[in-house]
Amino acid sequence: MDASIKTEFMSRYDLPTPEPDSPSLSRSRRPYAFSTLCATVENPNSSHKDQHGSSSVPIYQTATFKGVGGVYDYSRSGNPTRTHLEHHIAKISSAQHAFAVSSGMAALDVITRILKPGCEVIAGDDIYGGTNRLLSYIRTHMGVVVHHVDTTDANSVLPYLNPGKTAMVLLETPTNPLLKIIDIASISALIKEKCEDAVVVVDNTMMSPYLQRPLEHGADIVYDSATKYLSGHHDLMAGVITCNRDDLAQQMAFTINSVGNALTPFDSFLLLRGIKTLAIRMDRQQSSALLVAQMLSKLGFKTHYPGLPNHPNREVHERIADGYGAVLSFETGDKELSERIVGATRLWGISVSFGCVNSLISMPCVMSHASIDPATRAARGLPEDLIRLCVGIEDPADLLDDLQHALLEAGAITLAANDFVRIPNAVNKAVEKLADMQPRNDDTRDREWFVSAPGKVILFGEHAVVHGVTALAASVDLRCYGLSSPRDDGKVSVRFTNIGDHYHEWNIDELPWDAASPIPPGEAHADVLDQRLVDAISQRALPPAEDLPPKTHGALLAFLYLYMSISYKGSRDRPSFHLQVKSTLPVGAGLGSSAAYSTCMSTILLLLNTRVSVPPLPVPSRSPSHPEDPGHIHISHQGRRALPPDVADEINRWAFVAEKVLHGNPSGVDNSVSVFGGALAYTRPGFGKKSGTDPIQGFKSLKFLLVDSKVPRDTKKLVAGVAAKKMDEPEAVGKVLEDIQSIVDEARRALADPELSRDDLLSALSTLIDENHVHLVSLGVSHEVLETIRNKTAAQPYGLSTKLTGAGGGGCSVTLIPDNFQDKHLRELVALLEKDSFQPYLTAVGGSGVGILSPYNDPHRVARYGNDPMTPPDTPSPEEYDEHAGLSESVLKSEFESVAHEDFALWADSQGRWLYV
């Protein structure tokens, strides 16, 4: 920024309150009231006065200015219309400096550019979703540590203050949509005492400068989405920033000039026009909001509004604010009832925004927060039935009348004795009993969780999938199993039965939490891993990889990465438990064992942190054999109940994160098959065609012989080799990839064709398997042991088709077994392969995905173990602990450890009702 513009940014706001020309009086003038300041758009700097004396600030709709050495030269750096606006904003905000940019999020972006890699940010745990997204980005890409804290209690920030590191504390009050109150003054004072270099930033959008000026209460920077109350008409996008510190103003001015996100002249004009009526608009809006809140509260609805006497921290709000605002929310106790109410309104517009002259209504859990799974919303205390009201300037009598009619039409209230009264919610007693029978959130960590996930075979498309070719994959009935058992000693531990029976434990408080940025419920993990956390775990929580059994270092790293990313609350809320993993899948053989492990681990961590929940019990019915017991579940042991799609989606997202830790850049197909089961077609994004996963409907069950060559393979090296070959021979490799895509397309058609006979299907798949393997050999990813297995299975009298699966370079092969293949020949082939030290598995593909053993007391388990086998004793005696201190024994855990490998799958299936995707 040139010197003249920089000087302009730094000095333009050091101005007196403007006074109209008049003779001097014997007494000094009283300060102007806020509404007068809003309506009086003057700038005493002579260089900014309009030469024609226009009563409305002109729009200087120009990109450049003529001359040399003038105040303005380029509108990105400065524009007279914007200068007037910024002076006006500073004046009404108790600020020395103000900046106008293109949106509220642009304002926050400018502010966060103050941060440097390695510094730390403390933010609320109930803040605007766009703010969360931006914080996630800077955490991932800038190396900034972000702590999400319940800022309604000022002392909650104390454990996260790190002098020399804590650089910013980000607040908003009231929060949206529950109107929680944060004490800006107390937190600001605390920060200045403990971390004097930290900057306190406040999002003031809900209040606007009219009702709250955080700079007066210790904040360093304040920003608003001016799209809301400052504009008031929803006809422009804008953001404003105010501060009183010259050093901060200089940094932000430099950023705005550099990136070019300053507000345009025309939008500056519109925003100036809107601000003139800010006071009178908000006076009307908040007075009407109080009437609406009082009416709803009187009717018996739980109403969230700072103006109500019982609102939490109301005295704090009244100390730091000049009014209660125009946003409120209320609960009906019934989501469907809330939907009917919202749909029945006529005057209230259904919209996700607020701050407009028109009144708006919305259901956050159906609209703005619908992307967050129900379990996470429940963990954050966000009711599914919540209705948010943003009150406008319409006649309050009309607003009340319209809302009353909507409540009446929806069946929420009725007219009695010439007055409206609330109709009590008609609660279905059977549903109420089911709710009582569900496991409570506070019991989640006091019980054992038994989960499982299948491995996978890629039938067609290995290696080519990395380059945009579709892969066909299916689950196998070989699975990984995970059992979590609660600990009471502040430790977390794991045991990998199939990897050297390795055991490892950590003190939870001694983990490198300073490097962690736990992801709050409802937020997705960034696209890339948090390398700072990966490095901290590797260097401070794990021994060197060479000191551990093979594959153990990666498994431990993935576990701790997910544990520290998902356990987002304070130390007392982080689950203390033992995870034991056992697998009937061969580990490291290319059958998706790491994805199955990732899925089991993610499922248990999400359950323990109440981010997902199992579905409720089926409706109880009287059984003929138990007529006296209305709660007896009359369902066969084999009855299948599905896990909800939102639960599966959340598990899949975190399983993919774990796969990234283990493999760097996975395709995503392994974890998707492990979670969803069945068979699917997967296309990687970024290749100019539709990406994602598509289930293969009507997939016919197929019998395969999986053969573990017991030769390790290096997936990363093999993938890199294909990439290098493609660079050296683009035409030849491109042709191979096209041919593989054709094979995949033909296989999909055959599998989905209901008219194709079983014999023709198996014959077609056999031919495609042979063709696919030839192409993989040409890519250089096979191995001599795989070719040996192919030759043995293809020899007479077998004549079977075999191909590598997974990465190749060793690992596993898959052999299609026709329906009419003789048992005698199968036994001979298995014996032949075992003689050469290969490990064959006869299996089927296309079964269930992730499974969770039902935590409810079904008759099968009660008959075997007695009541509630899933919950260990509350106060076990010393002899009830195993060799690892703090870990209580249970029947389930004991058998999990002792059942023989060859009997384990059958034992696991016999434990009770499994809930599958």
Helices assigned H by DSSP within 465-621: 531-540, 552-566, 593-608
pLDDT band of residue 713 (cuts 50, 70, 90) is confident
**Domain co-membership, 284 together with 418:** yes
User: How much is the average pLDDT of 852-880?
Assistant: 50
> Worst-scoring range by mean pLDDT, 162-176, 446-460, 821-835?
446-460
The reported pLDDT for the residue numbered 283 is 96
What is the C-alpha to C-alpha distance for residues 276 and 85, in angstroms, rounded to an integer? 11
Least confident span in 8-22, 113-127, 251-265, 358-372: 8-22
- 339 shares its domain with 266: no
Specify the pLDDT at position 204.
97
| Boundary of a domain, candidates 259, 277, 295 | 277
Q: How far apart are the first and last CA of the chain?
A: 58
Give the pLDDT of residue 284: 96
Average pLDDT over residues 885-899: 72
Residue at 798 is within a domain: no
Residue 526 has pLDDT above 90, yes or no: no
d(C-alpha 584, C-alpha 455), whole Å? 9
pLDDT-wise least confident of 208-222, 389-403, 711-725: 711-725
Q: pLDDT tens-digit profile of 578-599? A: 999 999 888 877 788 899 999 9
Question: Residue 84 in contact with residue 43, Cβ under 8 Å?
Answer: yes
| Same-domain check for residues 138 and 265 | yes
Judgement on whether residues 272 and 284 belong to the same structural domain of the protein: no
- DSSP assignment string, 714-748: -HHHHHHHHHHHHHHSHHHHHHHHHHHHHHHHHHH
Residue range 120-127: average pLDDT? 89
Asked whether residue 800 is assigned to any structural domain, the reply reads no
* pLDDT given at position 632: 32
pLDDT at 764: 92
Residue pair 658/556 in contact by the 8 Å Cβ criterion: no
Predicted confidence band at 47 (pLDDT cuts at 50, 70, 90)?
low
pLDDT tens for 486-520 read 988 889 999 998 888 899 999 998 999 888 887 87
With respect to residue 299, please indicate whether it lies within any of the assigned structural domains: yes
pLDDT beyond 90 at 815: yes
Q: Looking at the predicted structure, is the pLDDT value of residue 81 above 90? A: yes
What sign does the dihedral 568-373-443-505 (CA atoms) show?
Answer: negative
Query: Which residues carry out catalysis?
Result: 76, 128, 203, 228
Per-residue pLDDT of 728-763, as tens digits, reads 999 999 999 999 999 999 988 888 787 888 889 899
The mean pLDDT value for 669-692 works out to 82
Confirm whether 142 is domain-assigned.
yes
Say if 188 falls within a structural domain.
yes
Is 407 found in the same domain as 524? no
* pLDDT tens profile 446-462: 788 999 999 988 888 88
Residue 885 covered by a domain:
no
Number of structural domains found in the chain: 3
Query: pTM for the whole thing?
Result: 0.52
Q: Which of 318-332, 826-840, 898-912 has the lowest mean pLDDT?
A: 898-912
Tell which wins on pLDDT, 138 or 873. 138
* pLDDT band at residue 870 under the 50/70/90 scheme: very low
Do residue 413 and residue 344 come from a single domain? yes
Over 70: is that where the pLDDT of 370 sits? no
Asked if residue 479 is part of any domain, the answer here is yes
Say yes or no to pLDDT of 626 above 50: no
| pLDDT for position 1 | 43
Q: At residue 621, does pLDDT exceed 70?
A: no
- C-alpha count within 13 angstroms, C-beta hemisphere, residue 125: 23
User: What is the reported pLDDT for 884?
Assistant: 46
Is the pLDDT confidence value at 424 over 80?
Answer: no
One domain for residues 423 and 534: no
Mean pLDDT, range 643-659, rounded to an integer? 88
Structure confidence by residue, pLDDT tens digits, 206-239: 999 999 999 999 999 999 999 999 999 999 999 9
Share of the chain above pLDDT 90, in %: 49
Confidence of residue 633 (pLDDT cuts 50, 70, 90): very low
Do 333 and 348 reside in the same domain of the chain?
yes
β-bridge partners, 262: 101
On the 0-12 / 13-18 / 19+ scale of CB atoms within 10 A, 335 is: middle
- d(CA 679, CA 701) in angstroms, rounded, equals 10
Residue 288 belongs to a domain with what CATH number? 3.90.1150.10
Domain match, 371 and 273 both: no
pLDDT score at 574: 87
Q: How does the average pLDDT of the chain come out, rounded?
A: 83
pLDDT of 366 reads: 79
576 has pLDDT over 70 = yes
Q: In the predicted model, is pLDDT for residue 279 greater than 50?
A: yes
Residues 184 and 116 in one domain: yes
Mean pLDDT of 360-373: 72
Between these two residues, 1 and 524, which has the higher pLDDT value?
524
The pLDDT of residue 12? 43
Strands (E) located in 35-164: 97-101, 120-124, 145-149
Domain ranges, residue 343: 279-433
Quick one: pLDDT at residue 378? Answer: 64
> What single-letter DSSP state applies at residue 153?
S
pLDDT (0 to 100) of residue 299: 93
Residue with tokens 């513009």: 5
Residues 211, 63: one domain? yes
Structure tokens at 330: 């209320």
Among 164-173, 370-379, 673-682, 904-913, which is the least confidently predicted range? 370-379
Would you say residue 457 lies in a domain?
yes
**Within 13 Å of residue 566, how many CA atoms lie on the same side as its CB?**
27
Exposure on the CB side of residue 748, measured as CA atoms within 13 A: 17
Query: Which region holds residue 521: left if phi is over 0, alpha if psi is between -120 and 50, else beta?
Result: beta
- CATH code of the domain covering residue 600: 3.30.230.10
Between 865 and 777, the more confident residue is 777
- Greater confidence, 907 or 641? 907
Whether 356 and 374 share a structural domain:
yes
Q: Residue 565's pLDDT band (boundaries 50, 70, 90)?
A: very high
From 383, 407, 433, give the residue that closes a domain.
433
- Would you say residue 272 has pLDDT above 80? yes
Q: Which of 433, 463, 482 is the last residue of a domain?
A: 433
Quote the CA–CA distance of 634 and 624 in Å, as a whole number: 9
Q: What CATH number is attached to the domain comprising 47?
A: 3.40.640.10
Which segment of 22-31, 194-203, 646-655, 771-780 scores lowest on mean pLDDT? 22-31
